[in-house]
Amino acid sequence: MAPSRPYLGRRCDFINDREGIAPGEPEYAQVHILHCIDSSQHWGQTDAMTIHVLGFPTTLGLPRHAVRHAPEALRATGLLDFLGQLDSRVIDHGDMALPPGLRSDPVPVRIAKVVEAARRQQQHWQRVARPGDLLLTIGGDHSTSLGTIMALAALGYDFDVVWVDAHGDFNTVETSPSGNPHGMVLALATGLLPDAMDGVIRPDRLRLWGIRDLDPGERRLLSEARVEVVSPAEVRARRAELLAGLRPNVFVSFDIDSVDPAEAPGTMTPVPGGFTGDEAVSLVADIVRGRNLLALDVVEFHPDRDEGDATGRLAHAVIRAALEAWRGQSPIRSGSPCASRSDADSRPSACASPTRRLYSP
């Protein structure tokens, strides 16, 4: 499906990373998509901060083929047209080619491939990002966000990770019932799987909001690490307090399954009792207001499971809300990556739940 805005003048190749995959193996990690290898094209003001867009169609963390089509599907919702209207320079880097994987790979091998893909993403962001730029990554399963965390840490930022999700993604090989690495991302990032990689962020920098489905061993690990874990009901009750507790620099990783499946059916791991669509959209906007949004990931959108494009429209609305809130904060974005502000400056006023719909389900 062609994107709604033409990729003007860019030189693009078709990348196929099927090498090494045996005949008959499921093609869940195949990459055969338009990958733009010249990222110099942009539109908007060239003297403004830059929004970088990267598709990360990984299925290495969850062996399901359809999720790799999410970046293409979200671009087709008019995402690039919306970005082009912002008072910012926009660069769409296309979709990243990823290492191949096999459904039959042992769990340690699958984890190693997730880390390899994350390092590719980290290196890409280190090459292109400047202080004040916004990194927008469209997954892919939730292992997408490991590379974002690694990149921000490597760039020297002191930041909180706001993980909006139904799940904790804090499993290890020993605690995971499924063995799927997309449920181990934060354990990897904090160093709980040292054979795979060193930790890059401290557990006290993690804010897990919307959580309502934890495995027993995962729950124990989160408790031992004293990670902030908050259910949707608690977010509703403590919204102002939670927002006020965030650090000035934030990375928001938004998993589609944080929203109740009645409104967001297009995901693989739905859990009842999630946020409404409006709650999710307004929450993301409130997180960004008064803070320096370093990066936004939108992950775990499975277009083939969507109904009437409801989930695609929701994902678009989340991105739109975050970037509209980000757009008005250039004084915050200027300065060094580790710059901080006073508590008073970094804490927005309490925001009530919206009284109007923020998107059309």
Which tens digits make up the pLDDT trace of 244-292?
Answer: 999 999 999 999 999 999 999 999 999 999 999 999 999 999 999 999 9
Range scoring the smallest mean pLDDT among 31-40, 63-72, 149-158, 216-225: 31-40
Return mean pLDDT, the chain. Answer: 82
Closest by Cα among 122, 137, 51 to 87: 51
If one looks up domain 12-346 in CATH, what number appears?
3.40.800.10
Tokens 């207001």, residue located: 289
CA 118 to chain centre: 12
Burial class (CB in 10 A: 0-12, 13-18, 19+), 127: exposed
Q: Any idea what DSSP says for residue 79?
A: I
Do the strands 12-16 and 134-139 form a parallel or antiparallel pair, or are they unpaired?
Answer: unpaired
Give percent above pLDDT 70 in the chain.
78
pLDDT average, residue stretch 160-182: 97
Q: Give the 3-state secondary structure percentages of the chain, helix then strand then coil, rounded to 5.
A: 35, 15, 45
Whole-structure pTM over 0.85, yes or no? no
Tokens in use for 322?
Answer: 């975050």
CA-atom Rg of the chain in angstroms: 19
Closest by Cα among 136, 129, 123 to 55: 136
Indicate the pLDDT class of residue 104, thresholds 50, 70 and 90: confident
pLDDT above 60 (res 342): no
pLDDT tens track for 18-56 = 333 333 333 333 332 333 323 333 333 334 689 999 999
Q: Rounded to 5 degrees, what are φ and ψ at 54?
A: -135, 125
CA dist 187 and 194 (Å) reads: 10
What pLDDT sits at residue 48? 61
What pLDDT sits at residue 184? 97
Tokens in use for 16?
Answer: 């196929």
Burial class (CB in 10 A: 0-12, 13-18, 19+), 46: exposed
Tokens in use for 83?
Answer: 């970005």
Residue 160 identity (one-letter amino acid): D
Q: Answer for the pair 202, 190: CB distance below 8 angstroms, yes or no.
A: yes
